[in-house]
Amino acid sequence: MNHAHADNERRELLDQIRAIEFMTIDLNLYLDTHPNDRRALNEYNYYTRQLQALRKEYEMRYGPLTNFGYSLSQYPWAWINEPWPWEEDHYMEGC
């Protein structure tokens, strides 16, 4: 498996996490003003479970998504590993 392929897989999983997390964010805001909507709450819990499973899968393969005690780290401390979220190594070479 070459590097570009592994990077694509990582990115795909991250996109999946983002899509599910988007559902939880949007439902969360909706529930803030509709706390008695049982259907929305069930959906929130449904996507939250999916998100927890996806995060776990990602972190096992690519390292922690969160710090401060929310994710375990292998040796050496993996939190500092690149890329950081604002670095998508797509752009052209600098001058």
Q: Would you give the binding string for other proteins spanning residues 13-52, x where CB under 8 A is met?
A: -xx-xx--xx--xx-xxx-xxxx-----------------
Binding piece for other proteins, criterion CB under 8 A, among 1-9, 44-52, 82-90: 82-90
Please check whether residue 54 is in contact with residue 20, taking contact to mean a CB–CB distance below 8 angstroms: yes
Which residue's CB is nearer to other proteins, number 2 or number 33? 33
Q: Which of 38, 39, 68, 76 binds other proteins (CB under 8 A)?
A: 68
83 secondary structure, DSSP code? P
What would the two tokens of residue 71 be? 């994710």
Alpha-carbon distance of 95 to 90, in angstroms, equals 15
For residue 76, cis peptide bond before it (omega within 30 degrees of 0): yes
Question: Which residue type is seen at 77?
Answer: W
Q: Which residues bind other proteins (CB under 8 A)?
A: 14-15, 17-18, 21-22, 25-26, 28-30, 32-35, 64-68, 70, 79, 84-86, 88, 90-95
